[in-house]
Amino acid sequence: MNDLILKATDLSKSFSHNGEQVHVLSHIDMVVEKGSFTVIMGASGSGKSTLLYALSGMDKATAGKVIYNGTDLTSLSESRLAALRRRDFGFIFQQMHLVSNLTLFENVAVSGYLDKKVSASEVKRHANELLDSMGLSEVKDHRPAQVSGGEQQRCAIARAVINTPEIVFADEPTGSLNRRNSIEVLDMLSGLNNKGQTILMVTHDLKAALRADRLLYLDDGKISGTLELAAYNETDEKSREKQVNAWLASLDW
Amino acid sequence: MEILTLLRAAIRHRKGSFLSIALLVAIITAVTVSVLSVRMNFRTAIDSAYEYTDTPELCILINDKPELDELLKKLDNCQAADHYEISDIICNTKMHINNGTDIDHFKYFTTPEDNIMVLNDDFTGFKDEVPELKKGEVLIPYGLQITYKLKRGDTITIEEAGRQYSFTILDFFEEPLFGSINIGLKKMYMSFDDFSEITENSRAFDEALANEADHPQPYDFVNGKQINIYSSDPDMSGNELMRRIELDTGLISSSMLPINKEDSRRYTEVTMDMVTSIVLIFLSLLFVIVLIVIGHSIRVELKIDYKNMGILKAQGITERKLTLVIMLRYMMAEVTGIVIGVLCAIPLGVIMGDLFSSLTAIIPDHNIALKKSIIVIMTMLLMTITLIFLCTRDLSRISPVKAIHGNHSDFYYDSIINLPITKHFLSFSLNIRNITSSKKRYIGLSFIISILTFFMVNINIINQTMNSRTILDHAGIRLADIDIIIKNSQGFDELEEAEEIIRNYTDIEQKLTYMNKYVTINGYNIGCESYEDPEQIIGMLKGRRPIYDNEAILTQMAGETYGIKIGDEVTISYNGRSAEYLITGFHQNTFDAGMSCAMSAEGGKRIGIGRCFYNSYYIKDNSKINIISDIISQKYERDMNIYVTDYSKGIMISDSDTAILLSEKLIYFFSIVFVIITMLMISRRTFIQERHDIGIYKAMGFTNARLRLNYSLRFLFVAVIGGLLGSVLSLLFSEKLLNMMFRMLGIYRISPAFTANAFVSAIFAICTSVMLFSYIESRKIKSVSIRELIIE
């Protein structure tokens, strides 16, 4: 078993809605191993995005703990969480969320500049390298509005990993992309994972889920199923798809 | 119905901008309406006072001299005069209050006339009946009450023909012709018994003076006449009436002092006009700021509400209806502001009225200037409607299809100014990027701040100019440390000794010896200064000083008013004697509110202006001026008056210092209020627009504290740019503004005192307010959650 990087214990989240308590997450226990590609699946409203916020410290759980490298995220101050986001966590969103008045290069570099330990020239070199590896060197001086959705999402991935974070949290990264762009983005993520990057992704896209080596199925705020897979290989995608489909069918997907 | 629903929703959703605009408009309306009302109320009050007291178009004070009968005969035949009334007066130059304070004004006493406007106990109106004056009682004008803080029951002592008489102040009265504190002459009433006694006692003194002196000076006589002249043509100007009477009779140049109703009104209203003009100009620019804010607000709303507007369009709501909703909302805010403003204008008008009452010595009514206010309000509304029409043209660009798909244009614009984002100056470079990529938003704020800074810097410059002795000296405003006025021939003999006393304490750097009288130029009445050394005349604008005895200069204001040019030959008359003079130049001088002329003492002798008994001294060290004053006044009390001014406490021209200080306070107050309100509005809109980016930056690892600081630093940066722009505007236009303002006082050219403090204090006040309030407003950044970036 690899080292644990993130562990949730008895994690619960509930909201008060019209005077009634709605339990979105209910006593969840889970772990994320270092270097793993974990995907959380589930029907709409199952609480998968809420789980992602809670695990990444974006949102406070009502009860339970989220332990990251021995520290309980639920007890950290806003500034400590900001520091974690600067160095240890990277985020990829469905809507990309690039800063619209910065170029693609600047969107990536600004995140890098926040790490005081790395020199400006090193950040620039790394940002150029990342953009180059993601096929964005031609458009790196363009504004987000001037490039395609796929290019934007690839830039968002570069931004998420510029500080070589311990974990990348991805929330439906292919949700607003077409098929061709989705494959490009998923290839990027798989490539990163192959190099040892831990990824925790929420998706309801089966093609995206195939990239995982571990699948969690969330139903009504509880983890109702887990599927361990071998490391992703493009050549056995069809058999992998059958295996995942069967697993999902068993969970009433 | 749908319009009403949309309107209700829009107001509920945008309460902040509704209230801000209402507040800004309320401030502008309140001050504008009260200023217009105050101006109207004073004008009405002066008119009513003129009517009630039957004030003549021209009042002449003249010595009771033998040739008076001849002059009056000529007046009988003068076409310009419809009729005249003549009464006896007692002139006075020596008076002190029981606490020892000397009253410097030239004054005269007369017996009670009809329709004296005696003030009520709290100086808010008038008594129904004039109290009967008994022996030993006097009625004092309100202007003197204000200046010397006099109370009913105070004792005053006057000296006439070497005898002293004490009186108790029975009451105070409003006097529209000489009443303003800007007018040096004051009229008072005493009982018939006292009047007869003093007249009788001083008759021998006057006769001796007339026989003994070479050129007896009009002010030295005790007994005189007041001639109230009523014009035959109500449309004839005061100056023209005086000129025609002078040309027909010579009465003006023979008099001690003539004053016409028009000039009196100008002197009375000059301070109020100066302050209210500055405030009205300032208010009109504040309204421009409100229009900028409304324009900015509408443009931002169209971007923020793009989707909603698109959906409404898709549902069949026409552009016209959407425009109408926006229009109604802003008009409702403006009308709410106007209503609040008009209500506030009532008490504000009373406060302003009291304030100007202490400058004009006129008790005003407290009415609202309805007609003018309605015109101003309608203009404001029309300008707003036009602006809203222009700004809502962008509604046509909203595409329902784009809006529904959420791919409308981004909030940000590309910029040709793309400074790089650097690690070392990350916050600064991100701020610059934010500013350059949404220029319109920040240009508006910068422009607003530049206008406000311009006014604040200017009011500082005016204040500092008024306190700069050097500048005022160059502008022709004489500000000597010590003034000695010789009272009699003995005084001339003792002057050198008095100067020796000054030298015992400090060096005399400059001495000016001069005289001032009222003369006529081509029949026009005008103040005249004659200088022992004409080279010492200050404030020359054009031409040269009057070196020879047949030369004179006059102020540019007088030249323009009377149509006299350099090189013209004019007739100058004084006390019945006339001579021809060549005008060699124009100068500027505040004497007699800018309407004066000057010549050499030799030139003055040609028309009988006596020796120069005004002596002004500029000394090296003015720390001992009070000791010098005490010694000289004790030793030469009978023969000379000494006045000292300690300019280390600041110089202010008495007529305008209150005006300047009042304008300064008003402009500072409203500037800060406007900066805060507009800044909060723009900041709030900016926050809405940037909320999404704030979430992204938070996800990158920016802390709340850093984002808040960045946010307020960005506004500070814009404020500094606005402040610098305002300062540049001040450098370019302050001189023009200052000259325009000083022109009312007769100063045509004045160099502004550009001190660092004038700029720094204004920029500091504005920038601190912007930084502080944008930081307070940025607290909302804490409420932005990264979760907002995630679609469930």
**Is A93–B705 a contact, with Cβ atoms under 8 angstroms apart?**
no
The angle at the Cα of B502, spanning B499 to B508, to the nearest 5 degrees, equals 80
Q: Do A145 and B410 touch (CB under 8 A)?
A: yes
pLDDT of residue B413: 46
**Average confidence (pLDDT) over B574-582:** 90
- As a whole number of angstroms, the distance between CA A16 and CA A12 comes to 13
How confident is residue B337, by pLDDT bands cut at 50, 70 and 90?
very high
Residue A19 pLDDT: 78
C-alpha angle with apex B328: B327 to B332, nearest 5 degrees?
A: 120
Q: Do A123 and B423 touch (CB under 8 A)?
A: yes
If we measure between CA atoms, which residue out of B203, B183, B219 comes closest to residue B63?
A: B219
Tell me what pLDDT residue B500 has.
93
Band (pLDDT 50/70/90 cuts) for residue B653 is very low
A88 touches chain B (CB under 8 A): no
CATH number reported for the structural domain that contains residue A106 in this entry = 3.40.50.300
Range of the structural domain that residue A92 is part of: 4-250
Q: Which of B693, B785, B792 sits opposite A49 (nearest CB)?
A: B792
Contacts of B789 in chain A (CB under 8 A): 93, 95, 97
A82, A94, A113 member nearest B703 (Cβ): A82
pLDDT at B412: 47
Q: What's the confidence (pLDDT) of residue B447?
A: 86
Burial code (b: 16+ CB inside 10 Å, e: under 16) for B346-359 equals eebbbebbeebbeb
Q: Give pLDDT tens digits for B386-445.
A: 999 998 888 877 777 776 665 555 444 455 567 888 888 888 899 888 888 877 778 888
**Interval B301-310 mean pLDDT:** 80
B302–chain A nearest CA distance, Å: 19
Place of tokens 């600041």: B650
> pLDDT > 90: what percent of chain B?
39
Residue B411 has what pLDDT? 45
Contacts of A45 in chain B (CB under 8 A): 792
**Which of A139-148, B209-218, B322-331, B757-766 is least confident?**
B209-218
Per-residue pLDDT at B416: 57
C-alpha to C-alpha distance for B431 and B415, rounded to whole angstroms: 14
Residues 6+ apart with CB under 8 A from B269: B42, B43, B46, B360
Higher pLDDT among residues A209 and B16, named by residue: A209
Residues composing chain B: 792
Q: Using CA coordinates, name the residue in chain A closest to B423.
A: A113
By mean pLDDT, which of A32-46, B37-51, B272-286, B467-481 is the weakest?
B467-481
Q: How many helices (H) and strands (E) does chain B have?
A: 22, 21
Q: Which two tokens stand for residue B574?
A: 């004084």
CA nearest to B252, candidates B49, B558, B528? B528
Q: What is the identity of the amino acid at B723?
A: G
Beta bridge partners of B369: none
Distance CA A113, CA A133 (A): 20
Lowest mean pLDDT among A88-92, A133-137, B486-490: B486-490
Q: Give the length of chain A.
A: 253
Report pLDDT for B469.
Answer: 72
B787 near A CB under 8 A: yes
Q: Do A171 and B785 touch (CB under 8 A)?
A: no
pLDDT at residue B476 greater than cutoff 80: no
Q: Which tokens sit at B772? A: 């502080």
Q: What is the pLDDT of residues B220-267, one digit of tens each?
A: 778 999 999 999 998 898 888 988 998 899 888 888 888 899 889 988
Point out the residue among A52, A99, A106 whose CB comes nearest to the CB of B696.
Answer: A99
Q: Among B373-382, B513-522, B742-751, whose mean pLDDT is lowest?
A: B742-751
The total domain count for chain A is 1
| HSE of B116, CA atoms in CB hemisphere, 13 A | 24
For B88-100, the pLDDT digits (tens) are 999 987 888 887 7
Name residues 45-84 of chain B within 8 A of A (Cβ).
none
pLDDT value at position A138?
Answer: 93
Looking up tokens 């959906």, which residue turns up?
A: B311
* SS3 assignment for B443-482: HHHHHHHHHHHHHHHHHHHHHHHHCCHHHHHHCCCCCCCE
Residue in A59, A99, A143 closest to B414 by CB: A143
Contacts of A44 in chain B (CB under 8 A): 792
User: Tens digit of pLDDT for each residue in B716-759?
Assistant: 999 999 999 999 999 998 888 878 877 776 777 777 888 898 89
For residue B393, give every residue at least 6 positions away whose Cβ sits within 8 Å of its Cβ, in sequence order, or none: none
Residue of chain A nearest B692, judged by CA positions: A97
Q: How confident is the model at residue B655 (pLDDT cuts 50, 70, 90)?
A: very low
Q: Is the pLDDT of residue B568 over 90?
A: yes
| Whole-number average pLDDT of chain B | 86
- Which amino acid would we find at residue B184? G
Average pLDDT value over all residues in chain A? 89
Contact A102 B433 (CB under 8 A): yes
Please say whether the beta carbons of B174 and B142 come within 8 A: yes
Give the A:B interface size as CB pairs under 8 Å: 89
Among candidates B455, B353, B486, which has minimal Cα distance to B672?
B455
Q: Do A101 and B791 touch (CB under 8 A)?
A: no
For B772-789, how does the pLDDT look when each residue is reduced to its tens digit (9 = 90+)? 989 998 999 998 887 777
